């Protein structure tokens, strides 16, 4: 996400023994298609959209298997169309939000992030606008493969992303709550009547906590005031109550009665493990910027871990293993893209 202008910001880079900036021009050493791909990845932040793909695929697979399908084998052919549609929605919406953010932050980035694709001239504004519209169309087309309700929710998420980038992010409390709701509604796109709303609540909480930590670690402006903290907590509590009250209000349980409550130890364990990992990464990062980058990368990969934990809790071991492996692959890909595109630890930013 783009950042509000900050006074007194100084950006320095670590220089190697030969006077070169490690990772500073790795992308510029490439030509042709590889360079264009890396520029597109950086502009749309597609690598970081891995968490969004995990969320929407989790709901897609869960809805397709059904609650009673614990012993059933997955049929790739019958899952192909909904998985493809869900992928198009996730990548389309995430890329749409990222490009919109860069377009609205162009003036700021020219002063404080000149290496970004738009201010660096690697992508023209007209090309970015075409990409913005194209990504939105991809998301809508993907939603059409999932159903009418999915199209409506996709439009709602797109509108929420526009609100966040145009206004919401400049008020920390509003921005953090909006981001959490975007992920929650996005997760419901494949199945508006998802029975497992606990999973939606967990992702919303996870995203909001990470958003607060990233804001603090990167020392973003405006800073989160005491009143802002109260607004974030109030927003989280309000929407948590709404999400968790939907099924009980209809006389349905939050957790399927045919499964033991002990099985909830799987997602609870995933939560505690993420908390411990996040604490460790912050302590050993050295700088706030590096700690923030690590949290965003591990936090995105952890969406797959949560999905695997929920499937394990439901006894769907094949799906649990598939999502766990998907998390490992996604984390590896994000790390490789980060290094190859010159965004690795060789580039330091001091504020």
Of the chain, the percentage scoring pLDDT greater than 70 comes to 80
Average pLDDT, the chain: 84
Half-sphere exposure (Cβ direction) of 319: Cα atoms closer than 13 Å = 31
Main-chain dihedrals φ then ψ at residue 212, nearest 5 degrees: -65, -45
pLDDT of residue 117: 82
Q: What is the pLDDT of residues 306-316, one digit of tens each?
A: 999 999 999 99
Q: What is the pLDDT of residues 211-265, one digit of tens each?
A: 999 999 999 989 999 999 999 999 999 999 999 999 999 999 999 888 999 999 9
pTM of the predicted protein model: 0.84
Of the chain, the percentage scoring pLDDT greater than 90 comes to 64
CA–CA separation, 108 vs 4, rounded Å?
A: 7
pLDDT of residue 77: 73
Per domain, the residue ranges of the chain are: 32-252+335-340
Instruction: Report the range of poorest mean pLDDT among 4-13, 189-198, 292-301.
Output: 4-13
Is the alpha carbon torsion for 112, 116, 117, 121 positive or negative? positive
Q: What is the pLDDT of residues 162-214, one digit of tens each?
A: 999 999 999 999 999 999 999 999 999 999 999 899 999 999 999 999 999 99
Quick check: 298 and 285 in contact, CB under 8 A? no
Which is nearest to 118 in space by CA: 30, 44, 13, 46?
A: 44
CA–CA separation, 247 vs 334, rounded Å?
A: 36
Q: How far is CA 232 from CA 2, 47, 243, 279, in A?
A: 20, 27, 16, 21
Q: What is the pLDDT of residues 311-332, one digit of tens each?
A: 999 999 999 999 999 999 999 9
Architecture of domain 32-252+335-340: Orthogonal Bundle (1.10)
């Amino acid at each position: 996400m783009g950042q509000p202008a900050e006074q007194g910001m100084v950006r320095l880079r670590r220089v190697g023994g030969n006077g070169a900036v490690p990772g500073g021009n790795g992308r510029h050493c490439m030509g042709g298609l590889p360079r264009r791909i890396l520029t597109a990845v950086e502009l749309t932040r597609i690598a970081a959209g891995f968490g969004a793909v995990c969320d929407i695929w989790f709901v897609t697979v869960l809805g397709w298997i059904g609650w009673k399908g614990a012993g059933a084998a997955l049929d790739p052919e019958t899952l192909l169309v909904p998985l493809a549609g869900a992928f198009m929605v996730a990548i389309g919406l995430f890329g749409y939000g990222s490009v919109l953010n860069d377009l609205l932050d162009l003036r700021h980035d020219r002063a404080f992030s000149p290496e970004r694709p738009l201010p660096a001239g690697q992508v023209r504004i007209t090309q970015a606008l075409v990409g913005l519209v194209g990504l939105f169309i991809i998301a809508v087309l993907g939603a059409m493969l999932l159903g009418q309700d999915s199209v409506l929710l996709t439009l709602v998420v797109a509108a929420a992303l526009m609100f966040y980038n145009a206004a919401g992010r400049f008020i920390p409390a509003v921005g953090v709550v909006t981001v959490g709701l975007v992920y929650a509604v996005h997760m419901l796109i494949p199945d508006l009547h998802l029975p497992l709303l606990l999973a939606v609540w967990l992702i919303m909480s996870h995203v909001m906590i990470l958003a607060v930590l990233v804001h603090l670690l990167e020392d973003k402006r405006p800073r989160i005031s005491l009143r802002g903290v109260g607004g974030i907590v109030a927003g989280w509590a309000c929407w948590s109550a709404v999400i968790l009250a939907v099924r009980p209000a209809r006389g349905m349980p939050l957790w399927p009665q045919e499964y033991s409550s002990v099985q909830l130890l799987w997602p609870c364990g995933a939560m505690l493990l993420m908390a411990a990992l996040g604490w460790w990464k912050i302590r050993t990062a050295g700088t706030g910027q590096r700690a923030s980058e690590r949290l965003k990368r591990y936090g995105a990969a952890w969406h797959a871990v949560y999905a695997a934990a929920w499937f394990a809790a439901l006894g769907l071991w094949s799906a649990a293993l598939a999502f766990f492996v998907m998390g490992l692959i996604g984390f590896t890909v994000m790390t490789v893209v980060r290094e190859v595109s010159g965004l690795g630890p060789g580039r330091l930013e001091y504020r």
